[in-house]
């Protein structure tokens, strides 16, 4: 039975990946958009990096690249739950449920698929960022770590999105809710400005924002080096949150189908 | 005969409001095509969802292949196939990939699955298009692929919910052919629902007429039609040689004739088994040298049966917003 769960997760995941690879415009757009952000905002705010809050980061591009990579995985995760709403609407969900597959494999397979896809996007964006002059002091190993941390956030957000998708049964409403979540998450994090530069109320919010805890370790790895004492607590926070959310999402999904 | 589906007082009430299925009991025998005939919203789909373990019944009991639908869900799922009314095939995959995925969901071994895919593709005549994306398929092709998917693990029972919803007439007849062929070539039991009378008539060995969640009557389509009265023959005599009365008396005396009434210049005769009655009526008329100028035979349809048991014609009801949207999607896909 246990091996079957893994097989089922793989099958669900396989379908999502196949589908994604067929949607070429979606792939292109998911990469072009962050690159435009990086190019525009990177140039616009070039000189802001001279402010003391930035603590000697080489360039604003260096500062914001981790944020942009995490934005990408954030978007990937946010829309992870949509696929289950579509599947419900078009009857595919019932078809899967009529088969003897593990119920939990459906949300888990979808979360993993969203995460793998966002990992691919993050890799491409990081490669383009490097070509634009972004530095990574820890070299290729640091980049791999950065991508994996960013993927963790995607897993978290796809869990949130799936949990909401189990409760909200129409895709229009889910889209609105998820969009409503993304913007504040982006702008109350350390993605574009350091917490020290924010008013204290905003900094307090940012400290609670999981995005901050994802972006900070990536930024340290890319701009400072392997400072484990700051990296590990952040990753621990995001991991704990991710596991909790994944469990809740799976539970809510199971409840929504029974 | 063995009952492969057994339902006893099966009831489903949605969130305390609507009795979607109201204490229905029926048996389906192994190898037969069993139909649930009723209007939209009658409880057909709910019944299927309960039987295939996707909804828990509020009351009553059902077993499939001897397994309880609430207690032995995994076993029930392994022995059934389900073709939903939504034609749930994935547009972004090819036909073959859809089948592959479906086979993997049933944990078929790799080699077996490869053979089965070819086998079911052959069965629904989709071999040539197997490696094209489903988004390029017509509505009928999608439905055929959907049916093929339902068969990939050789289920003992295949559930088909509204197999021809939104399809054009030719395509409907094609789908009927595939379903009939399926029954000939394998011994799968088919449970289907439809709100088309002609479909139930063409495909089903037995039907249940269902309305407002209750079964009104169960029987073979022909028996049901016979029960509500005989066939109707309309007859016109050509020669008024004065012996017409005699001819009518002779016809009236035939054992299968129930009544004969003049209507305008013709006569309406209600008989049992119209096909065999017509030549005998001719003989009776000829025996007194009365010639028949025109004849027509009308059989009662399931429409008449439905009317007789529910007191009204098959209605179309407005669905929820979601249902209407789904219906539109289906029509759009069917037209492609």
Q: Given pLDDT bands bounded at 50, 70 and 90, which one contains residue B37?
A: very high
d(CA B259, CA B271): 7
Q: Given pLDDT bands bounded at 50, 70 and 90, which one contains residue B253?
A: confident
Q: What is the pLDDT of residue B10?
A: 94
Q: What is the pLDDT of residue B336?
A: 46
Q: Give the minimum alpha-carbon distance from A70 to chain B in angstroms, rounded to a whole number.
A: 28
Q: Given pLDDT bands bounded at 50, 70 and 90, which one contains residue B324?
A: low
Q: Which of A92-106, A202-216, B184-198, B215-229 has the lowest mean pLDDT?
A: B215-229
Dump the DSSP string for B293-316: EEEEEEPPPHHHHHHHHHSSPPP-
Residue B89: closest C-alpha in chain A: A92
B137 at the A interface (CB within 8 A)? no
Q: Give the minimum alpha-carbon distance from B87 to chain A in angstroms, rounded to a whole number.
A: 7
Q: What is the pLDDT of residue B321?
A: 54
Q: Do B88 and A91 touch (CB under 8 A)?
A: yes
Q: For a pLDDT cut of 90, what percent of chain B falls above it?
A: 49
Q: Give the minimum alpha-carbon distance from A6 to chain B in angstroms, rounded to a whole number.
A: 12
ipTM of the complex: 0.89
Q: What is the pLDDT of residue A95?
A: 94
* In A99-195, beta strands by DSSP E: none
- Mutation target to probe the A interface, by most A beta carbons within 10 A, among B104, B133, B136, B153 is B104
Q: Give the minimum alpha-carbon distance from A9 to chain B in angstroms, rounded to a whole number.
A: 10
Q: Do A91 and B133 touch (CB under 8 A)?
A: no
Of residues A109 and B262, the one with the higher pLDDT is A109
Q: Chain A residues with CB inside 8 Å of B106's CB?
A: 99-100
Q: Given pLDDT bands bounded at 50, 70 and 90, which one contains residue B245?
A: confident
Q: What is the pLDDT of residue B248?
A: 86
Of residues B117 and B333, the one with the higher pLDDT is B117
d(CA B113, CA B175): 24
Q: Given pLDDT bands bounded at 50, 70 and 90, which one contains residue B288?
A: confident
- Cβ atoms within 10 A of the Cβ of B16, count? 6
d(CA A16, CA B39): 36
Q: Chain B residues with CB inside 8 Å of A97's CB?
A: 54
Q: Which of A211-225, B96-110, B211-225 has the lowest mean pLDDT?
A: B211-225
Q: Given pLDDT bands bounded at 50, 70 and 90, which one contains residue B235?
A: confident
Strand partners, B214: B211
A95 at the B interface (CB within 8 A)? yes
Nearest-CB residue to B84 (from A22, A91, A258): A91
Q: Do A257 and B85 touch (CB under 8 A)?
A: no
Q: Chain B residues with CB inside 8 Å of A15's CB?
A: 90, 93, 101
d(CA B87, CA A170): 20
A216 at the B interface (CB within 8 A)? no
Q: Do A90 and B88 touch (CB under 8 A)?
A: yes
Q: Give the minimum alpha-carbon distance from B91 to chain A in angstroms, rounded to a whole number.
A: 9
- pTM summary value: 0.83
Q: Given pLDDT bands bounded at 50, 70 and 90, which one contains residue B328?
A: low
Of residues A50 and B200, the one with the higher pLDDT is B200
Q: What counts of helices (H) and strands (E) characterise chain A?
A: 11, 0
Its sign, for the CA torsion B253, B257, B263, B266, is negative
Q: What is the pLDDT of residue B314?
A: 61
B329 at the A interface (CB within 8 A)? yes
d(CA A224, CA A63): 11
Q: Chain A residues with CB inside 8 Å of B104's CB?
A: 7, 11, 14
| pLDDT higher than threshold 90 for residue B320 | no
A1 at the B interface (CB within 8 A)? no
- Mutation target to probe the A interface, by most A beta carbons within 10 A, among B91, B105, B325 is B105
List, for residues B109-145, the tens digit of each pLDDT value. 999 999 999 999 998 899 999 999 999 999 999 999 9
The pLDDT profile of chain A, 258 residues, written as one tens digit per residue, is 556 899 999 999 999 999 998 888 888 888 898 999 888 988 888 888 888 888 778 889 999 999 999 999 999 998 888 889 999 988 999 999 999 999 999 999 999 999 999 999 999 999 999 999 899 999 999 999 999 999 999 999 999 999 999 998 888 898 899 888 898 999 999 998 899 889 999 999 999 999 999 999 999 999 999 999 999 999 999 999 999 999 999 999 999 887
Nearest-CB residue to B78 (from A89, A94, A100): A100
Q: Do A91 and B56 touch (CB under 8 A)?
A: no
Q: What is the pLDDT of residue B332?
A: 57
CB of A134 within 8 A of CB of A68? no
Q: Comparing C-alpha atoms, which of B168, B300, B179 is closest to residue B233?
A: B300
């Amino acid at each position: 039975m246990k091996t079957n769960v893994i097989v089922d997760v793989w099958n669900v995941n396989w379908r999502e990946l196949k589908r994604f690879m067929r949607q070429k415009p979606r792939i292109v757009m998911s990469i072009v958009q962050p690159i435009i952000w990086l190019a525009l905002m990177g140039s616009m705010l070039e000189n802001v990096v001279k402010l003391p809050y930035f603590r000697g980061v080489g360039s604003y591009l260096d500062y914001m690249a981790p944020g942009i990579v995490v934005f990408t995985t954030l978007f990937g995760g946010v829309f992870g739950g949509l696929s289950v709403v579509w599947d419900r609407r078009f009857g595919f969900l019932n078809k899967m449920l009529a088969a003897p597959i593990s119920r939990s494999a459906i949300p888990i397979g979808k979360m993993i698929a969203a995460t793998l896809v966002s990992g691919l996007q993050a890799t491409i964006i990081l490669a383009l960022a490097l070509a634009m002059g972004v530095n990574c002091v820890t070299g290729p190993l640091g980049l791999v770590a950065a991508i994996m941390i960013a993927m963790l956030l995607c897993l978290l957000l796809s869990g949130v999105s799936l949990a909401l998708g189990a409760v909200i049964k129409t895709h229009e409403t889910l889209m609105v809710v998820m969009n409503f979540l993304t913007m504040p998450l982006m702008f109350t994090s350390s993605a574009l400005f350091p917490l020290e530069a924010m008013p204290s109320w905003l900094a307090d919010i940012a400290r609670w924002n999981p995005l901050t805890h994802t972006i900070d370790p990536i930024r340290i790895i890319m701009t400072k080096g392997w400072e484990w004492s700051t990296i590990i607590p952040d990753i621990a926070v995001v991991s704990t949150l991710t596991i909790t959310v994944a469990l809740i999402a799976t539970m809510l999904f199971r409840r929504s189908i029974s | 005969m063995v009952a492969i589906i057994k339902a006893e007082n099966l009831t489903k009430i949605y969130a305390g409001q609507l009795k979607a299925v109201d204490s229905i009991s029926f048996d389906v025998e192994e190898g037969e095509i069993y139909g649930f005939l009723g209007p939209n919203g009658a409880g057909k789909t709910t019944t299927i969802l309960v039987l295939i373990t996707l909804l828990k019944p509020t009351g009553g009991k059902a077993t499939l292949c001897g397994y309880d639908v609430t207690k032995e869900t995994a076993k029930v799922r392994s022995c059934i196939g389900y073709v939903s009314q939504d034609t749930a095939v994935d547009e972004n995959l090819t036909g073959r990939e859809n089948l592959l995925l479906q086979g993997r969901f049933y944990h078929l071994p790799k080699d077996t699955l490869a053979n089965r895919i070819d086998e079911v593709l052959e069965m629904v005549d989709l071999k040539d298009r197997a490696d094209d994306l489903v988004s390029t398929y017509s509505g009928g092709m999608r439905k055929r692929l959907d049916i093929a998917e339902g068969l990939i693990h050789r289920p003992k029972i295949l559930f088909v919910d509204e197999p021809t919803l939104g399809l054009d007439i030719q395509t409907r007849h094609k789908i009927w052919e595939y379903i009939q062929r399926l029954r000939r070539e394998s011994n799968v039991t088919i449970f289907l629902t439809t709100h088309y009378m002609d479909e139930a008539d063409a495909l089903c060995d037995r039907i249940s007429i269902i309305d407002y969640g209750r079964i009104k009557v169960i029987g073979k389509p022909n028996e049901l039609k016979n029960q509500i009265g005989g066939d109707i023959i309309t007859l016109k005599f050509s020669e008024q040689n004065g012996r017409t009365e005699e001819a009518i008396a002779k016809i009236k005396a035939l054992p299968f004739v129930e009544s004969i009434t003049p209507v305008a210049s013709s006569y309406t005769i209600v008989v049992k088994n119209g096909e065999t009655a017509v030549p005998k009526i001719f003989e009776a008329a000829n025996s007194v040298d009365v010639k028949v100028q025109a004849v027509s035979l009308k059989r009662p349809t399931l429409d008449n049966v439905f009317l007789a048991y529910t007191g009204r014609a098959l209605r179309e009801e407005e669905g929820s917003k979601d249902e209407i949207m789904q219906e539109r999607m289906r029509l759009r896909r069917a037209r492609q």
